[in-house]
Amino acid sequence: MPLLVVGSIGIDTIEAPTGIATDVLGGAATYFSYAASFFTSVRLVAVVGGDFPAEHRRLMESRKIDTSGLEVRPGGKTFRWRGRYSQDMNERETMEVHLNVLADFNPRLPDEHRNCPFLFLANGAPSTQLAVLEQMRSPRLAVADTMDLWIKTQHDELSRLLRRIDGLVINDQEAKMLAGTDNLVRAGRTIQAMGPRFVVLKKGEHGAMFFSRDETYVMPAYPTPDVIDPTGAGDSFGGGYMGFIASNGDSSPTSLKRAMAYGTVTASFTVEDFSLNRLARIGRDDIDRRFAEYRRMTAF
Amino acid sequence: MPLLVVGSIGIDTIEAPTGIATDVLGGAATYFSYAASFFTSVRLVAVVGGDFPAEHRRLMESRKIDTSGLEVRPGGKTFRWRGRYSQDMNERETMEVHLNVLADFNPRLPDEHRNCPFLFLANGAPSTQLAVLEQMRSPRLAVADTMDLWIKTQHDELSRLLRRIDGLVINDQEAKMLAGTDNLVRAGRTIQAMGPRFVVLKKGEHGAMFFSRDETYVMPAYPTPDVIDPTGAGDSFGGGYMGFIASNGDSSPTSLKRAMAYGTVTASFTVEDFSLNRLARIGRDDIDRRFAEYRRMTAF
């Protein structure tokens, strides 16, 4: 079943101990949609400027991502971000951010997108995420991501969003901030009690945790020795997660759990090169092979 | 089958965001042997001073831990440690350390201990760990723990130890230091190549990783919301790990993997109270119940 994602596309410059990548394709919705495209048909709603390279759009379309909802502002500039990773790559600092066309991104969904059964609201202003939700005709599963900025600046809007979505995907540090506790299990449960049916808490190289009213579980990250660039890992996780769920149209507890393993495996490819370079070299069979290996690894 | 542990017993004072525990029973060999005692018969070799409270010894003996190898120096003082945890309890600072009788701990194994088939060398000077190994009559499985201090001050002795043991259990930060890399998968593989048949890399609240020539795998920590005091979690993990292996006398890959799950679950109890308080309130059935829950959680 089709999966709609609304979020950012950007041009990134990444400084990591493993090298520097200048002006490469990035953005939450980019990683998400590319990762999800291995599982299901993806519709992307985002905004770019006239400077957005045609090759980037072609890369997305090569994965059959529907870019009919991609707004291009000829006079505007694409969102840009420059970040620097710490030596162990577990922390990163934003060195520069230019919102450009993202500053007044006001997504209008094409009519056929409003019926999409699966929706992912990639990280963005909760007010914008709510405005997207308003345009949807009762999706079967709506999941959102958020970040520290919105916890601080749009707390009320975020609270409203949490009561309207089925699932929240959130980083560990941001979960601690939102829940006001340093214990991740308590944080996950506290956020789940704020509204969503489930919370997926992303821990980067340490894996992910799941919280619903009835279930708590945790999965480790796939142990790759080749971490080149962690950028987009969380969004690729989200893409694999939602992509798998949408692919079989099943948001049962069993499906959500398997989806977490698929998200984990998909993200493990993303970090093995800069930008989408690694994902661009793999196919669904590579994901399935690593999924099988990951399952063997974690069974005891 | 019996399991021999050689290491430290101490009196700890713990300052954590959850409270302060003054002059409580601690030490690597203490946590290890208590945790292992749920699985197999444990023989403990350690040293304490005349100030060591009789109740602590009785607590160990209540779990049928063989303390005939416990050296008591009437004129000496027991090892003491005072530590303080950070707000999120993922870091701790040593505020005070008094080696006392541990300073010249020179373990002499009682003759019947030298035939013990399973040996754990808890954290201690590699020179001392080597001296213990010398006294053993070909154990079936010898596993050691180590720490940053020894990586810095006894690098040669540690290298020699690594070539003589079957397995090394080590913290993530210390593994990075020893291997000279920030990638934990690379660190684990690098250390394994230094000599031991396998390496178990402990990541605290993020679980543990395993490395042998043929296998790499990873398990998350059991997600407990009740983290009161992380002290001794790693040693309890080791105790559950080695205890399970010794209990069935099986160090096959399958047994080592299941052992990691038992170590994980055993450690999850330890952190739920100060000192050995939580472990003292549970039985093997509690461990088995949580093991079954952990297995359900991690299966997908």
ipTM surpasses cut 0.90 = yes
CA torsion A119-A63-A205-B88 (nearest 10°) is -20
Residue B177 C-alpha from the chain's centroid: 19
Give the closest-approach CA distance of B215 to chain A in angstroms: 8
Nearest CA in chain A to B180: A88
Residues of B in contact with A17 (CB under 8 A): 182
Q: Locate the chain A residue with the closest alpha carbon to B186.
A: A225
Rounded CA-CA distance B202/B234 in Å is 7
In angstroms, the CA A31 to CA A8 distance is 10
**Preferred mutation among A206, A258, A272, A290 to probe B, highest tally of B CBs within 10 A:** A206
Region B103-118 average pLDDT:
96
Starting at the earlier edge strand, list the strands of the sheet with A167-171. A66-73, A42-49, A3-6, A118-121, A141-145, A167-171, A198-202, A208-212, A216-219
Indicate yes or no: CB of B176 within 8 angstroms of CB of A88: yes
Please check the confidence at residue B234 and state whether its pLDDT lies above 90.
yes
A221–chain B Cβ distance below 8 A for any pair: yes
Which among B125, B119, B120 is positioned nearest to B148, based on CA atoms? B125
Which pLDDT score, from 0 to 100, does residue B193 have?
98
For residue B17, give the nearest of A227, A48, A183 by alpha carbon. A183
pTM of the shown model: 0.94
For residue B205, give its domain range: 3-298
Q: Which of B88, B176, B295 sits opposite A182 (nearest CB)?
A: B88
How many distinct structural domains can be found in chain A?
Answer: 1
Q: Does residue A16 belong to the interface with chain B, where contact is any CB pair within 8 Å?
A: no
Band the pLDDT of B90: cuts 50, 70, 90. Answer: confident
Task: Over range A97-111, report the average pLDDT.
Answer: 95
Ranges assigned E (strand) in chain B = 3-6, 10-16, 19-26, 42-49, 66-73, 79-85, 92-98, 118-121, 141-145, 167-171, 198-202, 208-212, 216-219
> What string of H, E and C letters represents the secondary structure of B107-120?
CCCCHHHHHCCEEE
Tell whether the torsion through CA atoms of A17, A20, A21 and A22 is positive or negative. positive
pLDDT of residue B130: 98
Q: Is A272 left (phi over 0), alpha (psi -120 to 50) or beta?
A: alpha
The length of chain B, given as a count of residues? 300
Measured at the CA of A37, the angle between CA A33 and CA A40, to 5 degrees, comes to 120
Question: What is the number of CB-based contacts under 8 A between chain A and chain B?
Answer: 81
* Nearest-CA distance B217 → chain A (Å): 5
Alpha-carbon gap, residue B30 to B8, rounded angstroms: 7
CB contact under 8 A, B225 and A185: yes
Query: Would you call B186 and A225 a contact, using CB atoms and an 8 Å cutoff?
Result: yes
CA distance B27 to B99: 11
- Residue B88, pLDDT > 90, answer no
Residue A88 pLDDT > 90: no
| Chain A nearest-CA residue for B176 | A88
pLDDT given at position A90: 83
Q: Which of B186, B218, B1, B102 is nearest to A89 (CA)?
A: B186
Q: What is the mean pLDDT of residues A182-206?
A: 97
Condensed to tens digits (0 to 9), the pLDDT of residues B186-203 reads 999 999 999 999 999 999
* Percent of chain A topping pLDDT 70: 100
Q: How far apart are CA B21 and CA B24, in angstroms?
A: 6
Residues of A in contact with B87 (CB under 8 A): 182
DSSP 3-state assignment of A205? helix
> Do the beta carbons of residue A4 and residue A140 sit within 8 Å?
no
Report the distance separating Cα A70 and Cα B160, nearest Å. 61
The DSSP code sequence of B136-201 is SS--SEEEEE--HHHHHH-HHHHHHHHHH-SEEEEEHHHHHHHHT-S-HHHHHHHHHTTS-SEEEE
- CATH code where residue B58 lies: 3.40.1190.20
Helix axes of A172-179 and A184-192: crossing angle, nearest 10 degrees: 60
Q: How many CB atoms lie within 10 A of CB A97?
A: 13
Residues of A within 8 A of B300 (CB-CB) are: 219, 257-258, 260-261, 295, 298
Q: How far apart are CA B202 and CA A212, in angstroms?
A: 28
Whose CA is closest to A160, among A169, A168, A172? Answer: A168
Nearest-CA distance from A157 to chain B in Å? 28
**Contact flag B298-A219 (C-beta cutoff 8 Å):** yes
Q: What is the pLDDT of residues B29-66, one digit of tens each?
A: 999 999 999 999 999 999 999 999 999 999 999 999 99
A176 CB neighbours in chain B (<8 A) are 88
Q: Which of B17, B217, B295 sits opposite A297 (nearest CB)?
A: B217
Nearest to B240 by CA among B269, B257, B260: B260
Contact B236, B31 (CB under 8 A): yes
| Contact B219/A at CB under 8 A | yes
